[in-house]
Amino acid sequence: MGIPGYATPEGTDRFRQRFVGKVAEGHFRRAHDLWLSSVGLGTYLGDEDAGTDGLYRDAVIRAVELGCNVVDSAINYRHQRSERAVGAALSALVRLGRAARDEILVATKGGFLPFDGEYPSNPRTYIQETFIRPGIIQPRDLVAGCHCMAPSYLRHVLARSQQNLGLDCIDLYYLHNPEIQLQEVSRDEFSARLRDAFATLEEAVAQGAIRMYGTATWNGYRQPPSALDSLSLSEIVALAREVGGRDHHLKVIQLPHNLGMPEAFTRANQLLDGEWVSTLEAASRLGILVMASASIMQGQMARNLPPRVGEALDGLATDAQRAIQFVRSTPGLGVALVGMKQIAHVEENLATASVAPAPPEDLYRLFRRHA
């Protein structure tokens, strides 16, 4: 048995109230009745070793202490070690009374086949013995040798993620980069597979394993509509309605958004009610929360930004903070996820919570919408 419970309106509001007077107005945003911090902690990068496990554990604890209540992972990150480090941090926070389970939103993802703790000597044999021979995956369901979203596979990795995280219930579960499937299957087959995956996740909600689900993408929502791997948010929401009805639980999308990859804000690539709009605008109209991955582009936006960025986004001390400020201030975006495993980086990045989000006109000085 894991830690019981899940993020609730009451719990996340209690967390928010502890930081009144310590963070600026706008750091906490309400989405799906939850109060969520504008900066969340990601766990993608790092070596697969005990030292990095400890860094992530301590980083999560420190981030929560500084007003971050969104933690993001994936079963394949660092071969399941990131989920386990998050689980260790959550256990410590609850045990020490520094946070309650209902105050923190925990998200993870399934789609890429995970190794277990380390890279195997023979990856092909590992996949065969772990997933294919036991019948968890049928060979026809495997794409690019590494990706699957078949129902039996999703049920398997979801249960493993619950175990890794030490949680009875995961707040948010993403299909991880589903657009990869379009490398090898037709649009019709992709839609059928996505529909089956959504049905599986609606079952997981009904069983209490997760609270809501979404799609975490890299290219899908940023591409021009003509691209092979482009995704239509309205069509994806329609699939969720097919399987879950009007009260479906597809509530969130994740996509890269940063100063170097602003397409979610600037590119009108989503057709909605006969109008081409940006992904952020489409999500807002459809009631979908957007979380940004790669907010500082794996560190590339943490230094040497053009002077005009500092002129447009003032009140901040470092380029990393300015990059995060751009993301968390983008209209229609809920949470800026930042990979953090060093305490010094946690403290630097969470310092943005003390500054109000920039007004839209400051962002428009940097970018303008284009088709």
| Residue 196 CA: distances (Å) to CA of 154, 191, 263, 264 | 10, 9, 29, 27
User: Which pLDDT score, from 0 to 100, does residue 308 have?
Assistant: 83
* Of residues 64, 63, 3, 96, the one with CA closest to residue 345: 63
- At residue 291's C-alpha, the angle toward residues 189 and 310, to 5°, is 135
Residue 368 has pLDDT above 60, yes or no: no
Residue 314 has pLDDT above 90, yes or no: no
Strand partners, 71: 41, 106
What does the pLDDT average to over 282-297? 96
Question: Which residue's entry shows tokens 């989000």?
Answer: 357
**CB 239 within 8 Å of CB 198:** yes
**Length of the chain in terms of residues written:** 371
Residue 370 has pLDDT above 80, yes or no: no
Superfamily of chain region 9-364: NADP-dependent oxidoreductase domain (3.20.20.100)
User: Which pLDDT score, from 0 to 100, does residue 367 have?
Assistant: 64
User: Which pLDDT score, from 0 to 100, does residue 306 have?
Assistant: 86
Percent share of the chain, pLDDT over 90: 91
* Of residues 33, 38, 42, 7, the one with CA closest to residue 23: 38
What does the pLDDT average to over 205-220? 98
Give 121-141 pLDDT, tens digit per residue. 999 999 999 999 999 999 999
**CB 38 within 8 Å of CB 28:** yes
User: Which pLDDT score, from 0 to 100, does residue 371 have?
Assistant: 39
Residue 193 has pLDDT above 60, yes or no: yes
What does the pLDDT average to over 315-336? 94
Band of pLDDT at residue 105, cut at 50, 70 and 90: very high
Q: What is the 3-state secondary structure (H, E, C) of 49-86?
A: CHHHHHHHHHHHHHHHHCCCCEEECCCCHHHHHHHHHH
**CB 180 within 8 Å of CB 141:** no
Band of pLDDT at residue 369, cut at 50, 70 and 90: very low
Give 217-265 pLDDT, tens digit per residue. 999 999 999 999 999 999 999 999 999 999 999 999 999 999 999 999 9
User: Residues near 62 by Cβ (< 8 Å), separated by ≥ 6?
Assistant: 343, 346, 347
* Of residues 220, 326, 365, 210, the one with CA closest to residue 283: 220
Beta strands (DSSP E) in 129-287 are 170-176, 210-216, 250-256, 270-272, 275-277
Average pLDDT over the chain reads: 95
Residue 300 has pLDDT above 90, yes or no: no
Between CA 61 and CA 74 the distance in angstroms is 18
Domain assignments of the chain as residue spans, ordered by start: 9-364
CA-CA-CA-CA dihedral for 84, 86, 91, 92, to nearest 10: 120
* Of residues 232, 201, 212, 252, the one with CA closest to residue 40: 252
Band of pLDDT at residue 280, cut at 50, 70 and 90: very high
b or e along 178-217 (b: 16 or more beta carbons within 10 Å of the residue's beta carbon)? bbbbbeeeeeeebbebbebbbbbbbbbbeeebbbbbbbbb
Residue 92 has pLDDT above 80, yes or no: yes
User: Which pLDDT score, from 0 to 100, does residue 312 have?
Assistant: 82
- State whether residue 226 is helix, strand or coil: coil
Q: Which two tokens stand for residue 173?
A: 């579960």
Band of pLDDT at residue 362, cut at 50, 70 and 90: confident
**CB 46 within 8 Å of CB 78:** yes
What does the pLDDT average to over 351-360? 94
Percent share of the chain, pLDDT over 70: 99
User: Which pLDDT score, from 0 to 100, does residue 185 have?
Assistant: 97
Between CA 165 and CA 60 the distance in angstroms is 13
